[in-house]
Structure 1
Amino acid sequence: METQRRPGGRSARVRDAVRQATLVEVTERGYEGLTVENVAKRSGVHKTSIYRRWGSPEGLVADALELAAEEPIPVPDTGTLAGDLRALTEALRAGFASPHGSAVGCAFIVAGMQHPAAAAAMQNFTAARRKQSVVVVERAVARGELPGTVDANELIRFALAPIYYRLFVTHEPVAPEDAAKAADAALAAARAGIL
């Protein structure tokens, strides 16, 4: 007889405790300071259990990203695509402007740049977030604001890319007006048939 895993239970509590400890550790110490030992102390889970299940700090980050990808994000519904895109870009800007959001986001991106497992988890995470966000484009097409030929994924990428560029390439601050410009430029490209 095959034993079935119960949803939730001890395994889910352990995973949640380790994930929460990982997030606190990367917030306080950054990715470079993330260690299995510190996560074990903070989570109350023995380090051998963490090594067995997650293997390394990269595994911890990859798992935290996997869990975060499953979480829903608030998708704006302002009634116009311009308003929705501006709300999405502002949410990204504001998230990275907060100390917690900046520390966690930067840690995930750094890990993704250095380790294949974290990179794959980061790709899945961004794909999941983009999948939730394209709803604003689909609604705009249904309202007749854009033709059905627009590539919704590309439109979302175009709106968010300038913010990531400023944050991680040029290390410039991102003001609310910068986020609004990114949204407006992506919408203009879509309306021009570029996307």
Structure 2
Amino acid sequence: MDQPSRSAGTVRPGGRTARVRAAVLEATQDALVEHGFHALTMDQIAARAGVGKTTVYRRWGSPAGLVTDLMNEFANQSSPHADTGSIEGDLRANALMVMEALNDPRLGVTLQAVIAAATSDEQAALALRTFYLRRIDEWATVVELAVARGELPQGTHAEELIRAVSAPLYYRLVVTREPVTREVAEASVARALAAARAGAFVTAGDRSP
């Protein structure tokens, strides 16, 4: 998966409704960065965005609704998968984009806040899951292309390989709280790719007898 825009306030133009949404999502991200999900209130966001409280309640309904729309916007802004011509290059591009996103002082903190929210709020969890499934599906294409080129075994599970590349990075960010460096990202790619080439990601029904 790759790196969405660092700010949710850069939504596409489209009249007053789009401007209101941009202001509200920017205010939501600001609040998440400063105070986290559990301090998020609808009145606070309305005041920050300069929007009437009635509008915010009617359109987003709850803090989790705000987070859901914010993650949807991140998904919409994300760039397409890389196309370097090799699976190694594509997976490295993926890992480095994840690394940059997690280390970004604004976006990285936003993602951490939403991840924390997802542990106790089902709507936030759904928003996070939807965002990442969209990105995994986008990047799975590079694995499918690699299989077609003969770089990886037939039957390689594309989504699982993409997950395997970024999982160690998120583990360091969220669980062990260690730095997510370029060396860590490239090592994750090397390990996942070695396993994939050895057939570790081939699903049981597709293995040769």
**8 A contact 1:19–1:60 mirrored in 2:** yes
1:77-92 to 2 correspondence within 5 Å? 77-92=83-98
Letter in 2 for 1:23: Q
1:34 matches 2:34: no
Unaligned runs of 5+ in 1: 1-7
Aligned to 1:132: 138
1:159 matches 2:165: yes
Q: 1:95 aligns with which of 86, 90, 101?
A: 101
How far apart, in 1, do the equivalents of 2:182 and 2:78 lie? 23
How far apart, in 2, do the equivalents of 1:103 and 1:34 lie? 15
**8 A contact 1:72–1:132 mirrored in 2:** no
CA drift at 1:49: 2.0
Per-residue deviation, residues 104-130 of structure 1 (Å, max 9, x unmatched): 111111121121111111111000011
Aligned to 1:148: 154
Q: CA RMSD in A?
A: 1.8
Q: 2:25 aligns with which of 19, 26, 42?
A: 19
Aligned to 1:180: 186
Question: Could you tell me the TM-score, scaled by structure 2's length?
Answer: 0.83
1:109 matches 2:125: no
Larger helix fraction of residues: 1
Percent identical among aligned pairs is: 47
Aligned to 2:77: 71
Question: Could you tell me the TM-score, scaled by structure 1's length?
Answer: 0.89
Unaligned runs of 5+ in 2: 1-13, 202-209
